[in-house]
Amino acid sequence: RVLLLIALAAVAAAWRVELQRVTATETHESPAWRRTLYPSAPLKGIPATAYQLTMAFGTPPQNFSIIVDTGSSNLAVAGSAAAGASSYFVTAQSSTFSNTQTPVSVSYMIGAWSGTIVSDKVEMVGSGTAPQTAQFALITASQSFFVSNSPYPAQGIIGLGYRSLAFPAANPITPFFDTLVASQGVPNAFALQLCEALVVHTGGDIVATSVTSYMEVGATESSVSDLSRGTWFYTPIVEELYYGVTVVGMAVNGTRLDVDCSLYNSPRSFVDSGTTALFVPQAAYDAIVAILSTKITFASSSDQSKFFSGQECFLLTPAFIETLPSVTVTLAGHNGTEFDLTVQPSHYLIAQSVPASAVTNPSVLVGRDCRSFGIQPTCGTIIGIAAMAPYTVIFDRAGQRIGFAVSTCSNSSGYSAVPSIASRASSATCSGSGRCGSSSSTSTNTAAIIGGVVGGTGAVAVLGLLAWKFLA
């Protein structure tokens, strides 16, 4: 089949559409009878834009949408109009605000910000925790960090990683979640349910809209039983910098890729809610692309290259998407076991929004999704939203492990294929070499490419930020 390529003439301004809640798809919402000290706080967002938690800053509280990111460790909120966000924290209106005057800056895979370390009351709205006096960054300037044309604009970020990843590097501040654990006795664990987008057609437009997702602090298997189904499988946290794990293999439609498993962990593998795509070693990416290229007929080699670059979306029918193969990520388990995370094409093909006004013939949008390729090459492996979305994930920091169970919203987009987890005995030893797949790669280049917060480079990599740039 031939992919329909979206052709846009000059688009002078970014398109915006009012997104409406589709309540019929939200049957997984937390019921009132859940007996837990810490209820699940709702998140909004889609894989293309990351997921956001409402957080309140100051006295009286001012609410903002804050990106939930397990690949960094700083809490930060826009603090002036110059920061570039759609709104910002007005410090003069808070009676509990204090400025330490300590400068701080963080650079990410996409974007950067700078500001000062401040202190004030902060609350994770809906989480069941109390307002907490904490240090955080007040953003006063940014570069490509806040996205004005996003349907889900954010005004800050909460890094849920370890303190070893926090800035300023010389004297890193205590991450906000660590403060909750120490000051309020919150169990040292949290869970994320990141639901894939629901694609709807309204007024001729294709709209990738949010299905309510959740974050729960102090999470246990029983407390998130309404957000998950089936058995839980755990992989050890092997590095308390990022949430480091060990990948022992990958497969396409159940056939294991012929890739040295040490490459998956060179220099590291980690689970990151701030990254849209599943990032894999170059050798694994090439093998996956080679297989998918036999399943899809492209109009030209140029179209093929643009599709697999992941930065432009193509029109596909849902029926065709379901004919494409699944991709499996195999993680090391405990006690000599391993388990597979199945990622269906409806997850690794990232849904994007497209306005009817952007195409010459709007009828081509009818009955189709616009999807960008959500598997990309890097050094090591980043298990981003594309691979997390089918599952509810518990970050059990106290137990030094990460748990996966099939999410109750794993087919929220309406596709029939349901993800699964399979476990087996394993004898694989797949620790990384610390290099990027070859002896010629240096650790400095590796850190920059993988996007980890090493030497000032953060782990937020949302491919959807580029998805507004359609083909001309």
Q: Which residues are annotated as catalytic?
A: 69, 272
Q: How many CB atoms lie within 10 A of CB 117?
A: 20
CA angle at residue 275 from 213 to 142, to 5 degrees? 105
Pairing relationship of beta strands 189-193 and 213-217 according to DSSP bridges: antiparallel
Question: Is 442 exposed, middle or buried (CB count within 10 Å of its CB: 0-12, 13-18, 19+)?
Answer: exposed
Q: Which two tokens stand for residue 468?
A: 């507004």
Q: How far is CA 11 from CA 331, 357, 358, 359, 360, in A?
A: 43, 10, 7, 10, 12
DSSP 257: P
How far, in whole angstroms, is CA 23 from its chain's centroid?
23
431 HSE (CA, 13 A, CB side): 5
- Identity of the residue numbered 250: M
| CA-based max dimension of the chain | 63
Q: Which two tokens stand for residue 449?
A: 């490419």
- Identity of the residue numbered 154: A
Q: How far apart are CA 310 and CA 365, in angstroms?
A: 19
Phi, psi of 273 (to 5 degrees): -75, -5
Closest CA to 148 of 78, 247, 226: 78
Q: What share of the chain is helix, strand, coil (3-state, %, to 5)?
A: 15, 35, 45
- CB of 154 closer than 8 Å to CB of 66: yes
Closest CA to 73 of 110, 106, 116: 106
- CB of 193 closer than 8 Å to CB of 17: no
- List all residues 6 or more positions away from 192 whose beta carbon is below 8 Å from its beta carbon: 43, 51, 68, 70, 213, 214, 215, 273, 388, 392, 393, 395
Q: How far apart are CA 281 and CA 382, in angstroms?
A: 9
